Structure 1
Amino acid sequence: MTVAPQIPGRIEAALQEAIATAQAGSAPPKLASALHYAVTPGGARIRPTILMAVATACGDDRPALSDAAAAALELVHCASLVHDDMPCFDDADMRRGKPAVHKAYGEALALLTGDSLIVLGFEVLARAAHHDPMRAARLVGTLAQRTGSPGGICAGQGWESEDSIDLSAYHQAKTGALFIAATQMGAIAAGQEPEPWQELGARIGEAFQVADDLRDALGDADSLGKPVGQDAVNGRPNAVLEYGVDGAIRRLKDILGGAIASIPSCEGEAMLARMVRAQAERLTPVHARV
């Protein structure tokens, strides 16, 4: 992935510091262990990487605030995975190549782990607020908006309980919301206005959802680290089911082109374009590469 080489290390350091904070003192040992298990080892860390890449492209003049924003976003994302895997939703046994949290620790601790990670994400932002209180307040508001309802990841999960599903609204909420958070929070952390970055986040989110649908339909569990074919099993909206494989690949091409074209003018514009292409290429099954 074409990003500044220090970004992955900054993300991991910020996440480990956050988890250590949650495990300190008299934390229940099993819950403390489950928090670490849910976050480490991580997946691709796509969302915080995009956030940091946008912050870098915009100058990154408050790096400690960018680090906190990246950690907070990833903690919320990890929480959503813990909840998604539970029997009341996807009932998935595997995540990131190992047993899902509810399989390793039980449903009760999985629920508490997801809840704790969400709260921890906002605590991380609160602890970093002294670096720039106004920016921190905007980061909290943006993350909250993209986590809850009407247009956050909670709303995305809620669409799965509806009799009739708007595929575009479903994707925008369930997947797009945290990608919009990534681009906007990166801009906010670096002192830029977030609105010009919304379209990029929305388009990246839609592209990654289509790529994920292709992986679910065409990939294998060993390479993905999670079950495949779950959308068909659960009757969930899926771009491959909607458009067919070829149609989904064409859709992915169109979305990526729009995403790159939507990048606001900034010093790191070329780097961001390369990152979007590289991430989409990496996440798409080999036989569906654009």
Structure 2
Amino acid sequence: MPLRMFSHRIETAMSAAMSLTQKGTPPELLTGAVSYAAAPGGARIRPTILLSVAMACGDDRPAVSDAAAAALEIIHCASLVHDDMPCFDDADVRRGKPTVHVAYSEPLALLTGDSLIVLAFDLLSRQDPDRALPLIRHLATRTGTPFGICAGQGWESESSINLSAYHRAKTGALFIAATQMGAIAAGQDPEPWEELGARIGEAFQVADDLRDALYDEAELGKPVGQDEIHNRPNAVTELGVDGAVTRLKDILGGAIASIPSCPGEAALAQLVQATAKKLIPEGKVNRVPGE
């Protein structure tokens, strides 16, 4: 189950979603900003995980899985637009190009993020009702507060941060959504899939901390050193580089072990291993969990 095998499905579903924003006579600049924010350029890892879980569970309604994958990615894109704004990270670059508020203006960036959020739920509402409702509920839970990415951003305004809750909401929430929504899209119980999503989310948080500390803007396509600038807690500050790499390996090993029993369990484990290779900084470790 290579990481690239779902790329065509994801981009086709994203294009179909973007076409919904172009009906009638919408404002040209806002429509352009929405498409700009959702354009290819990121790894699309969250929808890839969602489709991987759906496939492992049988993927009996691919159209529902594709819509769920697009909705999840659209929410992620919305979060990046808002995160980059001057009131938060004030970032000028994202995915190697100007951020939305730089390219289109701050007011349009705010409207773009809002429009993307609404679009994600509109897209899910068009699917088979028996699966659309639980998909909407799970995505809403992992988008808002107290358990979603809005809560994760909100923790940064608190005088005292609950680190576990902060990381689980800011980074883990959409990965939990990915695994659980993949199961729902395939008609399976989402609850056994929460741990896998949480572990993958934790791994991405540690990996992001490492990238923020070790790499430069040209390598990442976005500003670095943000944790230090904004005085945010991170794994490198707490554990050091070697300790953070060790922690990352441990989390990924636990993720593989947490995969629920399903027809595609072995293929899904291979995908997590492939993801591990991409997350662990080169030169820090020689092996990934499960090899």
Fold equivalence (TM over 0.5) = yes
- 2:242 matched residue in structure 1: 246
Structure 1 stretches of at least 4 aligned residues deviating more than 4 Å after TM superposition = none
Which of 273, 276, 280 aligns to 2:272? It is: 276
TM-score scaled by length of structure 1: 0.96
- 2:62 matched residue in structure 1: 63
Question: Secondary structure of 2:16's match?
Answer: helix
Give the CA deviation at 1:4: 7.2
Instruction: Return the letter of the residue paired with 1:267.
Output: P
Q: Distance in 1 between matches of 2:26 and 2:133?
A: 28
Q: Is the 8 A contact 1:4 1:53 kept in 2?
A: no
Q: Distance in 2 between matches of 1:244 and 1:162?
A: 25
Give the CA deviation at 1:42: 3.1
Q: Distance in 2 between matches of 1:223 and 1:31?
A: 30
> Is there any run of 5+ residues in structure 1 with no aligned partner, and where?
none
- 1:81 matched residue in structure 2: 80
Q: Distance in 1 between matches of 2:183 and 2:139?
A: 13
Q: Distance in 1 between matches of 2:263 and 2:251?
A: 23
Q: Distance in 1 between matches of 2:120 and 2:193?
A: 22
Equivalences for residues 196-211 of structure 1 within 5 A: 196-211=192-207
Equivalences for residues 19-58 of structure 1 within 5 A: 19-58=18-57
Distance 1:25 1:284, change over 3 A: farther
Instruction: Return the letter of the residue paired with 1:252.
Output: L
- 2:129 matched residue in structure 1: 133
- 1:184 matched residue in structure 2: 180
How many pairs are equivalent? 286
Report the RMSD for the aligned CA atoms in angstroms.
Answer: 1.2
Alignment partner of 1:160 is 2:195: no
Structure 1 stretch 272-281 or stretch 158-167: which is displaced more? 272-281
Q: Is the 8 A contact 1:82 1:110 kept in 2?
A: yes
Question: Secondary structure of 1:288's match?
Answer: coil
Q: Distance in 1 between matches of 2:213 and 2:163?
A: 17
Deviations 1:249-281 (A, max 9, x none): 111111111110000011211121121121232
- 1:15 matched residue in structure 2: 14
Alignment partner of 1:170 is 2:170: no
Q: Distance in 1 between matches of 2:275 and 2:218?
A: 20
- 1:263 matched residue in structure 2: 259
Give the CA deviation at 1:246: 1.2
Distance 1:86 1:174, change over 3 A: same
- 1:2 matched residue in structure 2: 2
Give the CA deviation at 1:165: 1.1
Question: Secondary structure of 1:151's match?
Answer: coil
Q: Distance in 2 between matches of 1:15 and 1:207?
A: 26
Deviations 1:82-138 (A, max 9, x none): 00000110111100000000110110000000000000000110112xxx3111100
Question: Secondary structure of 1:15's match?
Answer: helix
> Is there any run of 5+ residues in structure 2 with no aligned partner, and where?
none
Q: Distance in 2 between matches of 1:168 and 1:284?
A: 21
